[in-house]
Amino acid sequence: MSLCCGMIGLPNVGKTTVFNALVGAGGLVANYPFATVETNIGISAVPDPRLSQLVTIFHSKKMTPSTLEVRDIAGLVQGASQGEGLGNQFLGQIREVDVLLHLVRCFPEPNVVHVIGEVDPIRDIDIIESELMLADLGMLERRRERLEKRIRAGDGEASQEKAFIQRLEELLNQGTWLHAHPFSADEQAQLKDYQLLSAKPVCFVANVLEGWSPNDPFINAVRQKAEKVGANTIVLSGKIEAELATLPEDERLEFLEDLGLKESGLQRLLTAAHDLLGLITFFTAGEEESRAWTIRKDTVAQDAAGKIHTDMHKGFIRAEVFAYTDLLACGTPTAVKEKGLFRLEGREYIVKDGDIMYFRFNV
């Protein structure tokens, strides 16, 4: 499963700096708007401390984390929904992603130009949200016009769909972020077909300077805004994360401790993105390799096996399962079995986050 996140925001808010730190890439970072014109795409490993523990317990030769696809989309400006700043092109790129990471500048810095002139996180968020909702309104209007032709031809289903679209248009005109609005399961499925920008889950990323305060008014304003649209807020410093990404693995923890941090902002960001899409992780572990696998919640064992290889799905016999927490408590897989915590599960078993699994199958 490819988890695809799109980094959005105004120009010059630090998207490419954070993107480079996430994926170890070399996107152009410059102190002027539209330094990014073509979308940067990279793959980032999703940090999971449980995987490192498995490597230690099983003495694994190799560790393979799950991954996250990240896209650094060029900055949007006011009027993007009408094509300003290559807006139509950039909006199309946003439509392709699964979750939005909305980077918001929360620091005053005279040496870094703000595209509007002064730092105001809520105004910046409102500009981006308005452009995305205006783009959705334009798409819905075009779809409604096509439905009206079908209605005139006597299509009853088209009338029902038109009523739903009119409801969506009313919500958007009221400034409602659609992902935060309750819809039925059938309506959610219909929304997915429309690929509306405002129906995507979003995480606000407050980009701050080193030494930021948890009570910073900019950060508090972003958090309050996030609550209104059902979003998470992650606070990080793009500058710190960029520096951290250049350090060897064994020096990163010491660097974070010197700053009074337990984990990097990017770790929290990746975890939030993972959770936004309702994903969980199961593991396979042994002497050769310990590996994390990403699946959706409520995935059954047979489908989880298919994540590893199609032959496992086709020839599935059973799954041998024990929980990561039980392994940690017992110390070894042998101790897990001795305490009766090792289970045999069938194809319909619903995989839980942290399950360690071995699959038996016919070739």
Mean pLDDT, all residues of the chain: 86
Calculate Rg over the CA atoms of the chain: 23
Contact indicator for 337, 356 with CB cutoff of 8 Å: no
Cα–Cα distance list, 353 to 33, 196, 317 (Å): 42, 30, 21
Quickly tell me which residue has 């009027």 as its tokens.
79
Q: What is the pLDDT of residue 26?
A: 45
Is 284 a residue whose pLDDT tops 60? yes
Is 210 a residue whose pLDDT tops 70? yes
Backbone phi, then psi, for 11, in 5-degree steps? -65, 150
Is 283 a residue whose pLDDT tops 90? yes
Is 209 a residue whose pLDDT tops 50? yes
| Domain ranges, ordered by start, for the chain | 4-276, 298-361
107 or 288: which leads in pLDDT: 288
Q: Residue 239, Cβ neighbours under 10 Å: how many?
A: 18
Dist CA 356 CA 53 (whole Å) = 12
Helix (H, G, I), strand (E, B) or coil at 232: strand
Is 161 a residue whose pLDDT tops 70? yes
Contact indicator for 363, 311 with CB cutoff of 8 Å: yes
Backbone phi, then psi, for 110, in 5-degree steps? -60, -25
Q: What is the pLDDT of residue 357?
A: 97
> Which region among 32-46, 137-151, 177-191, 317-331 has the lowest average model confidence (pLDDT)?
32-46
Mean pLDDT of the region 306-325: 96
Question: What is the pairing mode between strands 343-345 and 232-236?
Answer: unpaired
Tell whether the torsion through CA atoms of 260, 10, 3 and 169 is positive or negative.
Answer: positive
Residue type present at position 86: L
Q: What is the pLDDT of residue 82?
A: 57
Q: Identify the architecture of domain 4-276 in CATH.
A: 3-Layer(aba) Sandwich (3.40)
Q: In the chain, where does DSSP find H-type helix?
A: 15-23, 49-58, 87-95, 121-152, 156-173, 185-194, 217-228, 238-245, 249-258, 265-276, 301-308, 310-314, 324-330, 333-338
Q: What is the pLDDT of residue 334?
A: 94
Q: What is the pLDDT of residue 2?
A: 56
> Closest Cα partner for 176 from 229, 106, 138?
229
Q: What is the pLDDT of residue 133?
A: 93
With cut-offs at 50, 70 and 90, classify the pLDDT of residue 333. very high
Q: What is the pLDDT of residue 52?
A: 92
Q: What is the pLDDT of residue 3?
A: 64
Q: What is the pLDDT of residue 86?
A: 44
Mean pLDDT of the region 335-341: 95
Is 162 a residue whose pLDDT tops 90? yes
Q: What is the pLDDT of residue 205?
A: 94
Mean pLDDT of the region 218-232: 91
Question: Percent of the chain scored above 70 by pLDDT?
Answer: 89
119 or 74: which leads in pLDDT: 119
Q: What is the pLDDT of residue 77?
A: 62
Dist CA 256 CA 113 (whole Å) = 28
Q: pLDDT tens digit string along 1-30? A: 456 889 999 888 888 888 888 876 544 444
Per CATH, domain 298-361 is 3.40.50.150:
no
Chain-centroid distance of CA 122 in Å reads 21
- 356, exposed or middle or buried, with CB in 10 Å at 0-12, 13-18, 19+? buried
Question: Percent of the chain scored above 90 by pLDDT?
Answer: 51
Is 301 a residue whose pLDDT tops 90? yes
Same fold, 4-276 and 298-361: no
Looking at residue 14, the DSSP 8-state letter turns out to be S
Dist CA 301 CA 305 (whole Å) = 6
With cut-offs at 50, 70 and 90, classify the pLDDT of residue 81. low
